[in-house]
Homo-oligomer: A and B are copies of this chain.
Amino acid sequence: MAPFSFRLSHRDGDARRGEMQTPHGSIQTPAFMPVGTRGAVKGVTMRQLEEVGAEIILGNTYHLYLKPGDSLIARSGGLHRFIGWDRPILTDSGGYQIFSLAEMRRIREEGSEFRSHLDGSLHMLTPERATDIQAQLGSDIAMVLDECIATPAPLAAAREAMERSVRWARRARTRFLQLKDPDGRPPGVTVTNPGQAQFGIIQGGIHLELRTESVERTVDIGFDAFAIGGLSVGEPADVMYDVAGHVARQLPPDRPRYLMGTGMPDDLIESVARGIDLFDCVLPTRNARNGQLFTRSGPLSIKNARFAEDTGPPDPDCPCYTCTRCSRAYLRHLFMAGEMTGSTLNTVHNLFFYLDTMRRIREAILFGTFEKLRQEFRQTYSRRPHH
């Protein structure tokens, strides 16, 4: 298995076109990762994911650790085999879910203590444990455990969380390297994907000076690449763009940059314009289940009565399965009737739209027309539901 690598092939302004290599294949960047929370991207099969063009998916360590458990998955041969997906997988560390989902969370220097949202059972996730769990899952890219805090956070609280995240990152890296060493490997951990890479996470809230310090100290530790955490958590879009751009400019140019948890289609383009290479977000899948379809002119709420007899496709420009086979009227009917097939069809379209947007972005960078695409997008795409 090839180890992790990244090759930057084209630049267009700050936008970058490249390719990541992982043990389970390559990913063209900028790339978007559908979120496969608990071993499935909600509503679709793996083949449907392949067909919409997903090159990599994200798995949530918090969920998989609680159910069915990383040890069971390791005994099954790792997450790829367990879920039947041969392409690359990135796993998060669980930090964000502990922050957003778990009950009675208590952060200590040792790690994050929390109660499961499923059964109230008590758990302790340390930087080492989060690294071990991901080694057992065998994802191609593992993330370090970081401390996520509510925003906007006062400077002192943001500094404290950033500094702890740096100390945790150092411990996670040490553990990761121990797991790589067949002789020094800690007992009880099955490394199911020896070529796994590990990304560090930049924190610091919306405070640029903290972000700069986080970059310096996290880069010093030495990771395969770096992610930007703590954004897309309620701050205005412009602030997110500013912070992402500020961090991206300081990150090593020869490593991919991953903006975690972002975002709306226009967020993707604006972030690529600032040097971001990798994204994940639940919006295309979650909004699909809520009846929102993304189109080139903006989101469309399929439950709207005006679609009741609309025999046209959801997005006239879209060649996806849903748009070639289903009318707005049919999708509205399925949504109103609560038919799960409607969620599947909406998800197929939204994922295709997101992944197709990334394809258009990559092509524009290749041909040096990214700024034109960005302006076009600004003129034609509106965040407000256009129907």
Contact = CB atoms under 8 A, between A and B. Distances in A.
Contacts of A77: 311
Contact of A327 (B41, B42, B76, B326): B76
A359 interface: no
B311 A76 contact: yes
B339 A42 contact: yes
Interface in A338-357: 339-345, 348
Contacts of A156: none
A40 interface: yes
Contacts of A63: 337
A195 to B, nearest CB: 22
Q: What size tier do the contact residues of chain A reach?
A: 35 or more
Contact of A341 (B42, B327, B329, B336): B42
A7 interface: no
B44 A330 contact: no
A330 to B, nearest CB: 6
Interface stretch (A67-75, A145-153, A262-270): A67-75
Contacts of A345: 45
A149 B336 CA distance: 31
A47 interface: yes
Contacts of A46: 325
A339 B38 contact: yes
| Chief secondary structure at chain A's binding surface | helix
A281 B382 CA distance: 46
Interface string A31-48: 000000011111111110
A253 interface: no
Nearest to A338: B38
Contact of A76 (B38, B72, B75, B329): B329
A40 B41 CA distance: 21
Nearest to A325: B84
Contacts of A308: 68, 72
B45 A84 contact: no
A254 interface: no
A383 to B, nearest CB: 28
A341 B44 contact: yes
B40 A321 contact: no
Interface string A141-185: 000000000000000000000000000000000000000000000
A260 to B, nearest CB: 23
B45 A82 contact: no
A309 B41 contact: no
A322 to B, nearest CB: 9
Given A39-B339, A76-B309, 17 more contacts: A38-B334, A40-B341, A41-B341, A42-B341, A43-B340, A45-B345, A47-B321, A63-B337, A67-B337, A68-B336, A72-B308, A72-B329, A75-B309, A76-B311, A76-B327, A77-B311, A344-B344
26 contacts: A38-B333, A38-B334, A39-B330, A39-B337, A40-B339, A40-B342, A43-B340, A45-B321, A45-B325, A45-B341, A45-B344, A46-B325, A63-B337, A68-B333, A75-B309, A76-B327, A81-B311, A82-B329, A82-B333, A83-B330, A84-B325, A84-B326, A340-B340, A340-B343, A340-B344, A344-B344
